[in-house]
Amino acid sequence: MKQYNRILVVAEPKKDVQVALKRALDITRFNPRAVITFLRVAYDYSYDLLILNKLKEKPVHDDIEQTYIESMEKTIELYRNQCNSETTIIPKVVESKDVGEAVVDEINGGKYDLIIKAANHHGVLDSIIFTPIDWYILRKSQIPVIIAKDTNFAEGGNIVVCVDFSVKEHSLANTAMLREAQILAKLTKGTIHLVNSAPVYLPSIMLEVPHYSPALYEENVVKEHKNRLRAFAQKHHIPESQCHTREGMPDDVIPQICNELNARAVFIGSAGRTGVMAALIGNTCEEIVDDIDADLYVLNSKTINK
């Protein structure tokens, strides 16, 4: 089984706490061979003044980049000391006006196993929001993306995998997420739990059918979800005690179960733009990350099919 040997961390220069870097050091504590690339995407508009003077352009670029590198090295040393870590951390500066595109280009050219980005807290609303940069990375990344929250990362915590049986094609996504969760569980000695929501869509026309029982219909829907989850768990040697099915929509069910389990990591994926998982990559995903006190691991269709 592969490990997270090369981790890309997106620097947040305007933030006092580098949550993503801290989470990367938490993970590499279990894998001393791992290498972290600490990436800062920057663009100094003084570059634009040098377009007509090519002789000065490169020295100024080099000076500005070196200033960024020196600042990043201080941050790296601070967090390395806080985490008592000897992990190799490489500072890297990429010049670009488009942060999302620059990060995705780095992912595609760097042979990374994992990317970590901090969740964005909205100061006024005291909630977490996804910026356009977050959405771009989540949809374009070819490797798993961690949206890290400023929480403790303890060894042996519960790891939740949100599985979806609403569309046949999602079976590949379910397996891919479980494999990634198993990597994390092996590194951190965590326990994997499978979570499945059972939305009940009651056809209005059925209400006109004599002797039709909505309660029985709902019971059968939940029962079918439980059977599918049990079969999936047995196939992958997950104990039934670690399987959780509950009636309701994903944005209600997933946070409830995650909080009950005190989950440390939650895996969500999508096989495309259909089914429950497509909603999770959409606005529902934003609602979930705000309601759970755990890191969110996102696998999109590019990651799953890679």
Q: What would the DSSP string read from start to end of 169-234?
A: THHHHHHHHHHHHHHHHHHHT-EEEEEEEE-----GGGGGSTT--HHHHHHHHHHHHHHHHHHHHH
Position 272 pLDDT exceeds 50 = no
Domain boundaries, the chain: 1-150, 152-306
Task: Find, among 129, 141, 163, the residue nearest to 275 by Cα.
Answer: 163
Per the CB < 8 A criterion, the answer to whether 170 and 279 are in contact is: no
What does the pLDDT average to over 289-302? 84
Encoded tokens for 246: 């509950």
Per the CB < 8 A criterion, the answer to whether 295 and 265 are in contact is: yes
Amino acid, res. 207? L
CA distance 238 to 192: 8
Encoded tokens for 17: 């706490």
List phi, psi (to 5°) of 44. -95, 120
Residue bearing tokens 């279990």: 30
CATH T-level topology, domain 1-150:
Rossmann fold (3.40.50)
Which positions ≥6 away from 68 have C-beta within 8 Å?
40, 42, 91, 93
Q: Among 50-59, 157-166, 234-243, 266-275, which range has the highest average pLDDT?
A: 234-243
**CATH number at 152-306:** 3.40.50.12370
What does the pLDDT average to over 248-268? 92
306 falls in which pLDDT band (50, 70, 90)? low
* pLDDT value for 155: 83
Position 71 pLDDT exceeds 80 = yes
User: pTM for this one?
Assistant: 0.84
Burial of 17 (0-12, 13-18, 19+ CB in 10 A): exposed
Max alpha carbon distance in the chain (Å)? 86
* pLDDT value for 168: 67
34 falls in which pLDDT band (50, 70, 90)? very high
* pLDDT value for 237: 95
Q: Is 9 helix (H, G, I), strand (E, B) or coil?
A: strand
CATH topology agreement for domains 1-150 and 152-306: yes
